[in-house]
Structure 1
């Protein structure tokens, strides 16, 4: 798609990106427990890229969406699944990663990094749930939720 970046940077932080970095085997990763679809289903998603930043795979687990949060709103879910997925990463290091955006389907749900352009503003949203939105210069310092 015209305007879509070949690579974006994801930076771990204390807000919505607590787990991004390099796994013990050299793969790049982003782990989120705030993925959701409009019907209220929640997911823990482990996004994985090869060491060179090319897409590798997504591992997704259905999780219980917190009952005190409306469907379609991001909220942490699946603490046990998060712990399990972190163990899979081995001796991981939290650090900025530069990776290729992608979209893929897991059990009928689209996961990945969707490029959008609206009124001349380009963005990339994390799917499912569209709860984090990155903008140019794609360096991971600024995002909207």
Structure 2
């Protein structure tokens, strides 16, 4: 079992969930993504666009988050436009590996971030999940840059 949560997590640029990770021209690190709250029962869930910014050392700076309501009712064109606008706000970027600290922020009644999860038993390990939606999960070694979906 790992002694505790990581101080930094590596995320490698890829063509899937980490398509838009990298650095801005001034060296800040960023992660642009589309978190969601899954629909359960009568709850229709929520869809979001989130741009997380970190300093050059990977310390969390801010979260820019837009909400689009339920997946069934959302305006997909508006979400795509907001996503592209968030990317454009960053200016000139380089898509590359980032190494950032876990963090969490509350917006729209939802917790967003890279959130450490303690082991549930002695045979388990620490995980860090991208929330909401738990669509990226990181485990040791924290510098691998790889994630589970």
**What is the TM-score normalised by the length of structure 2?**
0.82
Of 86, 110, 122, which aligns to 2:126? Answer: 122
Q: Quote the Cα distance in structure 2 between the aligned partners of 1:64 and 1:78.
A: 10
Q: Quote the Cα distance in structure 2 between the aligned partners of 1:50 and 1:97.
A: 11
Structure 1: gaps spanning 5 or more residues: 69-76
Structure 2: gaps spanning 5 or more residues: none
Q: Quote the Cα distance in structure 1 between the aligned partners of 2:7 and 2:145.
A: 17
Is the contact between residue 8 and residue 100 of structure 1 (CA under 8 Å) also seen in structure 2? Answer: yes
**What is the TM-score normalised by the length of structure 1?**
0.84
Is the contact between residue 25 and residue 90 of structure 1 (CA under 8 Å) also seen in structure 2? Answer: no
Q: Quote the Cα distance in structure 1 between the aligned partners of 2:33 and 2:66.
A: 11
Is the contact between residue 24 and residue 94 of structure 2 (CA under 8 Å) also seen in structure 1? Answer: yes
Q: Quote the Cα distance in structure 2 between the aligned partners of 1:31 and 1:65.
A: 20
- Root-mean-square deviation (CA), in Å? 1.9
Is the contact between residue 22 and residue 93 of structure 1 (CA under 8 Å) also seen in structure 2? Answer: yes
What residue in structure 2 maps to residue 37 of structure 1? 37
**Max Rg structure:** 2
Q: 1:93 to 1:82 in 2, by over 3 A?
A: same
SS at match of 1:15: coil
- Structure with more of its chain in strand, by fraction: 1
